[in-house]
Structure 1
Amino acid sequence: MFSLHKTLGGVHPPQCKDTRECPVTSIEPPKQVRIPLNMHIGAPGKPVVNVGDHVYVGTLIGDGEGLCAPTHASISGTVTSVATQTLPTGQTAPVVEIASDGKMEQDPSITKPTYETKDEFIACVRASGVVGLGGASFPSWFKMKCPPGKKFEFVVVNGMECEPFITSDYRQMIEHSERVVDGVARIARALEIPAAVIGVEDNKPEAIEALRAAIEEKGVGDLVEVLSIPTKYPAGGEKVLIEATTGRAVPAGGLPVDAGCLVLNVTTVSRIEEYFRYGVPLVRKTVTIAGDCVKNPGNYRIPIGMSVHDVVETTGGLTKEPRKIIMGGPMMGRTITDIDCPILKANNAILCLDSAAILPDETPCIRCGRCVRACPLGLMPYQLDAASRSHDVVKLDEFAVMNCMECGSCAFACPAHRRITASIREGKGFYRSDVARRTQPAKEA
Structure 2
Amino acid sequence: MFSLHKTLGGVHPPQCKDTRDCPCTWIEPPSKVRIPLNMHIGAPCTPCVEVGDHVYIGTLIGTGEGLYAPIHASVSGTVTSVATEKLPTGATAPVVEITSDGKMENDPALEVPTYSTKDEFIACVRNSGVVGLGGASFPTWFKMQAPAGKKFEFVVVNAMECEPYITSDYRQMIEHAERVIDGVVRISRALEIPAVVIGVEDNKPEAVDSLNKAIAEKGVSDLVEVLMVPTKYPAGGEKVLIEATTGRAVPAGGLPIDAGCLVLNVTTVSRVEEYFRYGVPLVRRTITLAGDCVANPGNYRVPLGMSVRDVIEATGGLVKDPKKIIMGGPMMGRTITNIDCPILKANNAILCLDKEAELPEESPCIRCGRCVRVCPLGLMPYALDPASRRHDAVELDELAVMNCMECGSCAFTCPAHRRITASIREGKAVYRGEVARLTQPAKEA
Shorter-chain-normalised TM-score: which range? over 0.9
* Offset at residue 386 of structure 1 (A): 1.3
Partner-residue secondary structure (3-state), 1:29: coil
- 1:338 corresponds to: 338
Which amino acid in the other structure matches residue 20 of structure 1?
A: R
Alignment match, 2:255: 255
1:15-56 CA distance string (max 9 Å, x none) = 001000000000011000000010000011000000000000
User: Could you tell me the TM-score, scaled by structure 1's length?
Assistant: 1.00
Residue aligning to 1:110? 110
Alignment of structure 1 residues 29-428 onto 2, 5 Å? 29-428=29-428
Q: Deviations over 1:222-266 (max 9, x none)?
A: 000000000000000000000000000000000000000000000
Distance in 1 between the 2:23 and 2:239 partners?
A: 30
Q: Which amino acid letter does the alignment assign opposite residue 77 of structure 1? A: G
Separation in 2, partners of 1:161, 1:48: 35
Shift of 1:440: 1.3
Map of 1:8 onto structure 2: 8
Measure the CA separation in 2 of the matches of 1:338 and 1:275.
32
Structure 2 residue matching 1:310: 3-state secondary structure: helix
2:112 is paired with a residue whose SS is: coil
Opposite residue 215 of structure 2, the aligned amino acid is I
Residues 307-343 of structure 1: CA deviation (Å, up to 9, x unaligned): 0000000000000000000000000000000000000
- What is the deviation of 1:441? 1.6
Alignment of 1:10-25 (within 5 A): 10-25=10-25
Following TM superposition, by how much is the alpha carbon of 1:387 offset from its aligned partner in structure 2, in angstroms? 0.7
Question: Tell me, what secondary structure is at the counterpart of 1:215?
Answer: helix
**C-alpha distance in 1 between matches for 2:160 and 2:146:** 25
Give the secondary-structure state (helix, strand or coil) at the position aligned to 1:81: strand
Rounded to whole Å, the distance in 2 between the matches of 1:401 and 1:337 is 28
Please report how far the alpha carbon of residue 391 of structure 1 lies from its aligned counterpart in structure 2 after TM superposition.
Answer: 1.4
- SS state of the match for residue 155, structure 2? strand
Cα distance in structure 1, aligned partners of 2:32 and 2:375: 43
In 2, Cα distance between the equivalents of 1:441 and 1:111?
Answer: 48
1:176 Cα offset (Å): 0.2
Deviation at 1:437, TM superposition (A): 1.2
Using the TM superposition, give the Cα deviation of residue 198 of structure 1 relative to its aligned residue in structure 2, in angstroms.
0.4
Counterpart amino acid of 2:164?
P
1:306 and 1:373 map into 2 onto residues whose CA distance is 41
Tell me the CA shift for residue 393 of structure 1: 1.3
TM-superposition CA deviations, 1:381-423 (whole Å, max 9, x none): 0010011111111110111000000000000010110000001
CA distance in 1, matches of 2:185, 2:441: 48
Partner SS, residue 180 of structure 1 = helix
Which whole-Å CA distance do the structure 1 matches of 2:345 and 2:389 have between them? Answer: 33
Tell me the distance in 1 between the aligned counterparts of 2:148 and 2:439: 27
Deviation at 1:425, TM superposition (A): 0.4
Paired residue secondary structure (2:387):
helix
Amino acid paired to 1:115: Y
CA shift for structure 1 position 379: 0.3
CA distance in 2, matches of 1:134, 1:422: 20
**Which residue identity is paired with 1:341?**
C
- Distance in 2 between residues matched to 1:410 and 1:272, nearest whole Å: 34
Q: Output the CA distance in 2 between the equivalents of 1:68 and 1:393.
A: 30
Q: Secondary structure at the match of 1:96?
A: strand
SS in 2 for 1:193: coil
CA shift digits 1:168-196 (9 cap, x unpaired) = 00000000000000000000000000000
Q: What is the CA–CA distance in structure 2 between the aligned matches of 1:389 and 1:338, rounded to whole Å?
A: 26
Normalising by structure 2, report the TM-score. Answer: 1.00
Amino acid at match of 1:24: C
Q: CA deviation at 1:108?
A: 0.3
Deviation at 1:156, TM superposition (A): 0.1
Once residues 442 and 77 of structure 2 are traced to their aligned partners in structure 1, the CA distance between those partners, rounded to angstroms, is 49
Gaps of 5+ in 2: none
Which residue identity is paired with 1:93?
Answer: A
**Structure-2 separation of matches of 1:402 and 1:145:** 23
Structure 2 Cα separation of the partners of residues 62 and 392 of structure 1: 39
Query: How far is 1:444 from its partner?
Result: 1.6
- The runs of 5 or more residues in structure 1 that have no matched partner are none
Aligned partner of residue 262 in structure 1, secondary structure: strand
Tell me which amino acid in the other structure corresponds to 1:35.
I
One-letter amino acid of the counterpart of residue 307, structure 1: S
Amino acid at match of 1:216: A
Length, aligned pairs only: 445
Shift of 1:438: 1.3
Percentage of pairs with the same residue: 82
